[in-house]
């Protein structure tokens, strides 16, 4: 793969290094004639984009025609331009040839929109189909696609990365990002005009006059200038702000009024972008914006705001907390949307009886959103350890919840009967507060062991809140997606409650015990437990031919999935039968253990659900229980008075030998002693799950060498 660097006289080749952090620049003076190859001997290939939902094509028929006039041979994959409204006939009409995928990617010069990726139809990566030594022009993002860079290097390809072209005058013709930003600026004004209550331009009639719209545009980049030009052409009074003096001059040239702050500081940064400004400048900037917002009608912000890569910082074990936090945002968004929509649509309520349906949906959406918002925050606190995971059983909590529900329902009476604006907002504010309190009292009464069900219930709530938002905003997509999320969350909640032998109402209302729990005293556990060392456990593993691993939340908390995955790989190489048994409510959210094991590289066909693997335990030589307690507790079948009586569990005690790996003999979230710890075929390997799994992995590796 050739690395190209910029010089004043064109492009310099640095040989054929494997260099992953490429910086590529193209100059107009660079062409194939410098290498002695006539254009007519070169073929340009335009493949169909296979990236999901990508509708663009690298070359339009006009672009193909321009290349053919220069002497290039152009081949286009059949259907390459269909999603962009360019048929194969359009390309044939300008002189291109229609070929299949392999023939197009084998061209001398391949042009693409998206970086090469896996082609599901052919079952091959597009990089593998490139001709050795060919040239590829595309968006590449080398820092994010290091594996792709390695593949292209193996093909000895010359890569012209459009995303790496610097923003300098001589390279303006290759600025592929500007065209998209230009569209964004234009579209922002069109959307604003569609939602604005009057014409952009001023109107003068015999009855009076209407002033033009006032538009403030923040950011004088490509998108901002496009927005300024569009708004000005539509007759609006346009004002523009940017930290760069050159951008302010460009605003002025388009007929917009440039705005400045009192603090004199240049915002010019590298590559034409703005730099981060001082605290004093930002404070003056905020004062300017606050003053302008009192006077303008429309605000358009086109400035890029650098954000934090939150998703990359989240560990797989922290996904339940992340999901709960996201649910709270959905609930808050629903409350704000419903209240805002009431304020906007209020003039129609008095004149249009059909608008009462919108009014009802706004009230219900506010109620559901409030419960989701506060309930999700409590769930987040319990999962993160900020709040005690034990249930908070307030005295008379059922009466309190019933009163909150009755007050919320009763609030709809004055809301619907009194048409005044003040009463409407008062009722919406009241139901927001009541539902928020109810979300706290409901979720706080649920223990940590029931958090997987709580997550699915909150997921369902957020779906119905989203459905209400979609109805109010007349957005079919939001309504459909909300209905899907709401119904699927409800179904999943029911399935998980069945897996725990409990009713959904029992879980939501902070119930205690299962539907099979007796009224007598729980069974008293007698006997002593047996402890083993890592060496003894390794010996058991070596002697066993069939092994089942049953992980619990302890595996997540200790982040022990990687050593376990490596251990399983070594055991499979020794021709041992190794499988995983997953309980439906293992972990702190549905499917958490499945995701955790998949992230560590455990093959999906080795991971079985409880119903699929329970009947195999009697024929299993060894079961390794890692960080699980309640989901393998035999009291569910042996003690009719246990609070988990009748709850389906992984029947690990039926195996020939069981090794339980956990910190201590303590109880799990259900606060129930586990009889299997004291059974004759059970051995306890106590200690931190991560350290224990690392030790097992190292010992097995040592003995296998």
Both tokens of residue 333? 């968004």
Q: From residue 53, give the alpha-carbon distance in Å to each of 45, 118, 574.
A: 21, 14, 44
Both tokens of residue 45? 């290939």
**Complete DSSP assignment for 524-582:** PP-S---B--HHHHHHHHHH-SEEEEEE-HHHHHHT-HHHHHHHHHHHHHTT-EEEEEE
Which residue in 519, 521, 513, 525 sits closest to 645, CA to CA?
513
How, if at all, do strands 298-301 and 97-99 pair?
unpaired
Both tokens of residue 540? 């058991």
Burial of 550-583, coded b for 16+ CB within 10 Å and e otherwise, reads bbbbbbbbbbbbbbbbbbbebbeeeebebbbbbb
Q: Which runs of consecutive H residues, i.e. helices, occur in 310-450?
A: 310-313, 319-349, 355-384, 397-410, 412-417, 421-444
List, by residue number, the catalytic residues. 553, 588, 669
Both tokens of residue 129? 């189909």
Both tokens of residue 698? 């190292």
463 three-state secondary structure? helix
Q: Which runs of consecutive H residues, i.e. helices, occur in 55-122?
A: 61-70, 88-93, 101-105
Sheet with 658-662: list strands edge to edge. 607-609, 577-582, 546-551, 622-626, 658-662, 682-686
**CA separation for the pair 279, 285 (Å, rounded):** 10
Which residue in 186, 190, 192, 212 sits closest to 200, CA to CA?
212
* CA angle at 371 for the pair 368 and 377, rounded to the nearest 5°: 135
Which residue in 685, 684, 705, 680 sits closest to 696, CA to CA?
685
Instruction: Decide if 39 contacts 71 (C-beta within 8 A).
Output: yes
Instruction: Decide if 476 contacts 488 (C-beta within 8 A).
Output: no
CB atoms within 10 A of CB 311: 7
């Amino acid at each position: 793969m050739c690395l190209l660097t910029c010089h004043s006289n064109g492009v310099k080749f640095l040989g054929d290094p494997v260099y992953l952090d490429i910086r590529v620049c193209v100059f107009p003076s660079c062409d194939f004639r410098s290498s002695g190859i006539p254009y007519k001997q070169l073929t340009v290939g335009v493949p169909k984009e296979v990236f999901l939902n990508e509708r663009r094509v690298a070359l339009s028929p006009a672009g193909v025609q321009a290349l053919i006039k220069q002497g290039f041979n152009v081949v286009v994959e059949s259907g390459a331009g269909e999603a962009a409204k360019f048929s194969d006939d359009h390309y044939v009409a300008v002189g291109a040839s229609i070929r299949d995928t392999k023939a197009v990617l084998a061209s001398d010069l391949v042009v693409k929109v998206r970086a090469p990726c896996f082609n599901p139809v052919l079952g091959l990566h597009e990089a593998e189909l490139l001709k050795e030594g060919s040239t590829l022009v595309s968006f590449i993002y080398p820092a994010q696609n290091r594996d792709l860079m390695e593949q292209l290097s193996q093909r000895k390809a010359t890569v012209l990365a459009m995303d790496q072209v610097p923003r300098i005058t001589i390279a303006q013709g290759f600025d592929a990002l500007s065209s998209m930003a230009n569209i964004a600026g234009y579209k922002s004004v069109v959307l604003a005009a569609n939602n604005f209550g009057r014409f952009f331009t001023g109107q003068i009639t015999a009855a009076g006059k209407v002033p033009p719209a006032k538009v403030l545009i923040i950011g004088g980049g490509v998108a901002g200038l496009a927005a300024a030009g569009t708004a000005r052409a539509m007759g609006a009074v346009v004002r523009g702000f940017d930290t760069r003096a050159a951008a302010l001059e460009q605003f002025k040239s388009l007929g917009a009024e440039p705005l400045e702050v009192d603090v004199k500081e240049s915002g010019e940064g590298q590559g034409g972008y703005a730099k981060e400004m001082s605290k004093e400048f930002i404070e003056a900037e905020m004062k300017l914006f606050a003053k302008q917002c009192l006077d303008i009608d429309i605000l358009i912000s086109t400035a890029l705001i650098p954000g934090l890569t939150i998703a990359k910082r989240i560990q797989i074990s922290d996904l339940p907390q992340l999901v709960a936090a996201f649910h709270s945002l959905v609930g808050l968004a629903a409350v704000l949307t419903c209240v805002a929509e009431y304020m906007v649509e209020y003039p129609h309520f008095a004149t249009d009886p059909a608008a009462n349906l919108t009014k009802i949906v706004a009230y219900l959406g506010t109620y559901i959103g409030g419960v989701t918002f506060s309930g999700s925050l409590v769930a987040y606190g319990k999962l993160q350890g900020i709040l005690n995971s034990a249930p908070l059983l307030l005295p008379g909590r059922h009466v309190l919840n019933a009163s909150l529900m009755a007050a919320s329902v009763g609030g709809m009476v004055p809301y619907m009967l009194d048409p005044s604006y003040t009463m409407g907002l008062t009722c919406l504010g009241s139901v927001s507060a009541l539902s928020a309190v109810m979300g706290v009292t409901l979720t706080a009464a649920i223990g940590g062991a029931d958090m997987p069900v709580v997550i699915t219930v909150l997921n369902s709530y957020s779906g119905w809140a989203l459905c209400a938002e979609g109805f109010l905003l007349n957005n079919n997509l939001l309504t459909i997606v909300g209905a899907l999320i709401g119904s699927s969350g409800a179904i999943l909640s029911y399935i998980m409650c069945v897996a725990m032998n409990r009713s959904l109402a029992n879980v939501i209302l902070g119930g205690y015990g299962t539907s099979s729990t007796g009224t007598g005293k729980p069974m008293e556990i007698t006997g002593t437990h047996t402890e083993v060392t890592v060496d003894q456990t390794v010996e058991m593993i070596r002697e066993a031919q069939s092994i089942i691993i049953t992980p619990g939340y302890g595996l997540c908390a200790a982040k022990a999935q990687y050593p376990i995955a490596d251990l399983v790989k070594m055991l499979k190489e020794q021709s041992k039968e190794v499988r995983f048994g997953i309980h439906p409510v293992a972990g702190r959210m549905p499917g958490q253990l499945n995701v955790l094991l998949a992230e560590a590289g455990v093959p999906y066909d080795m991971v079985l659900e409880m119903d699929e693997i329970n009947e195999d335990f009697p024929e299993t030589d060894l079961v390794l229980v890692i960080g699980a307690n309640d989901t393998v507790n035999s009291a569910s079948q042996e003690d009719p008075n246990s609070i988990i009586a009748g709850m389906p569990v992984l029947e690990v005690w039926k195996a020939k030998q069981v090794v339980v790996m956990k910190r201590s003999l303590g109880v799990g979230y259900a606060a129930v002693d586990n009889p299997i710890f004291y059974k004759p075929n059970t051995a306890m390997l106590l200690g931190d799950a991560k350290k224990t799994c690392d030790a097992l992995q190292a010992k097995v590796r040592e003995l296998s060498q």
